[in-house]
Amino acid sequence: MDYHRLPNDVALTNLILQNLIRTLLDKGLLSEQDVHDLLSMAAERIDIVGDELTRPAAHAIVRASLLPAILQRQE
Q: Please, which pLDDT band fits residue 75 given cuts at 50, 70 and 90?
A: very low
Tens of pLDDT, residue by residue over 4-58, are 776 777 888 888 889 999 999 999 999 999 999 999 988 888 776 666 678 888 8
Look up residue 72 and give its DSSP letter: -
Q: Where are the alpha helices (DSSP H) in 1-75?
A: 10-26, 32-44, 55-61, 67-71
C-alpha angle with apex 24: 57 to 63, nearest 5 degrees? 20
